[in-house]
Chain A
Amino acid sequence: MSTLEATEVLSLSSDLADFASGLRWQDIPAPAQLAARRTVANVVGLAINACRHEAVEAALSALHDLGMRGKFCVLGRSDRLAIASAAFVNGVSMHVEDFDDTHLRTVVHPGAPIVPAAFAVAELTGRDGAEVLAAITAGVEVACRVGIGLGAGHFDIGWHLTGTMGHLGAAAAAGRLLRLDADRMRDALAIAATQASGHTEQLGTMSKPMHPGKAAADGVEAALLAAAGIGGPQRPIEGRRGLGALMAPAPNLALALDNLGTTWEIEENAFKPYSCGIVSHPVIDAAIGFRGLIADPDTIEAVEIVVRPVVLDVMGIKEPDTGLRSKFSVFHCFAVGFVDGEAGPAQYSDARATDATIVRLRQKIRATTDPSMPKDACRVTVRTTDGVSHHIDIDHASGSRDRPLTNEQLRAKFESLVRPVLGNRTEDAWERTWRLDESDGVHAVFRASQPLA
């Protein structure tokens, strides 16, 4: 490490605090601004969709037992909770369907921990929409950049970055909306850093979506504590007994500051078009493509799918019997993609997993692997009963880095998630969320999301 790098690392926490406390919406270039708005719209739709999920109901029941009533809003619900509790529930509901955003380089899902923290503190302080979005951008930069600095080892040993880095991002966003100065912001980051937590043994349980909820709640609290004068160490991230030294085997924290404020990690945030593991996304793209070529699933005689080996490793369940298992079946993914034309949470229900048409089509699918197949590609051939073979090759799955979801696709995703909850108020909810930057605060988004009295 050069002397210059060593010096930079020595002040990493202060540099990030300086950046986060000073970031203004007008200083953020247009592509990053757009990415911030997309990040918010995506998770708000998810939270509204999942507002009655059993994990959300369990969390709300527990918070009511604890007497956590308050003034702060829960997306999609009329419940009012204490500030950190509201952030907690919104974090859980944004992540529970595994359908949120992904910063692909670090596997941080930044929206679910950071947006709820910002929304809660925005309700407290009444900041306008542009300031809320600036705070979220600051949070995403901090979370993803420290994630980059920790390197792959942090995830490899078992940490769940959405929980660990989510703590830092949530504190940065919350601190920015409390308008903490740089020193207090560093205290907020310090209080959050020592609480960075969440391990991936929890996958498949409610504790996985608990991680961003807890990060959001702790981030809000960290900012409030820092504002109240609770001071922390100067070097919580880069110090000898700090986050980097303890939580990653081979961190290179200097990377966290590379082009800070000139390149924007939030632009690398990707949005899933389908609510299942990312490896089967190209197959769903192909299935939807076949809808333009073949009208009736019963005219399909055979489907040949060629995928990377990893797809069958993680998505190889041939005949899933439950909604949860169907998320791990590339066969189911193709079948719902073709029959329904989409692959959202509704396509991975118990009913859909056992639907007769879907089951029949699934049984006609054969999958083979090709180790040379690129990461987000697949080849599919469908033979119909009239003896014709149709081919679709997908080079880059939608939602991937090379083919990001368009704003129109993002809106379609939002509407498909939200319509079952809000019906004809869905468009209004979209408009309020999508135009947050022009609004005077988050209250309009919350109001639009809630059941009518």
Chain B
Amino acid sequence: MYAAPFSYHRAASLQEAVKLLQELGEDARLIAGGQSLIPLMKMRMARPTALIDINFVSELGDIRTPKGELHIGALVRHADLEHSAAGATIPLLHDCAAGIADVQVRNQGTIGGSLAEADPSGDWGTALLALDTSVICFGPGGQRTVPLEDFIKDAYTTVLAHDEIVTALHVKLPLKGSGGAHLAFKRCAPVYPTASASVQVMIEDGNMCKDARIILGCVGLTAIRAKEAEAALRGKTLEEKNIRTAADAARAAADPQSDMRGSADYKRILVGTLVKRAIGIAARRARGESVEAGHEYAGR
């Protein structure tokens, strides 16, 4: 399949990429890993007249850990995070990075591209909301920092102006006593999940939940923060009854649509189950246990 014709421009720097976006107009698009954009272009669902390739902008591919934070460059590939020390420090990030699509796609797809695409089924928009994440954007007026919860406005829609670029994500490192998990269910490796859930909990005195963040993915036009589910855990012991109440609240907060991945009812039930499991795993990790988790699919 051929994409509609486009002109190709390679940016050597962020400044050049911004200038090209301005010169080439609204029908120009940035391309990074291309793992979402290229299939869309081949199906002619996207028809940019110009592509600005930022893969050769060298400063965007680093992972840094200044005090208390994790800075992830926009061009960091999912596989880079999967195999990074950062992934080992924050298990929720590893769950997400290691489960996106398959090896080949993880080798090429970027975290910045995934967020800028804002696909309702994308994993990063869900996982990173469970942590304190800021999106660093660069445009003609310089740099600005947008909290992730304000960055994605709607399905496939962010606050980015046409001539703005995501350059990095800044994630606050979870404190001691905090643990998280990102769980997703998908039919097979290369596809988007049917539903996903990201949970980060802070534990005190063994089993008391001091704080919780619960995010639902693929069950709404954007990732959904299930605040009532969080409230059902906050200040309570993490016993089965309370976890079940939280999972029920998460189910109620979901707003899924029926599609080829499943009916709305099915997704609602699934997301509740994922939340329940994710709370359990997050709590075990918060207590220092090493638990393997992530995307589940047939054959895994």
Is the A/B pair a real complex?
Answer: no
B contacts, CB < 8 Å to A: none
A contacts, CB < 8 Å to B: none
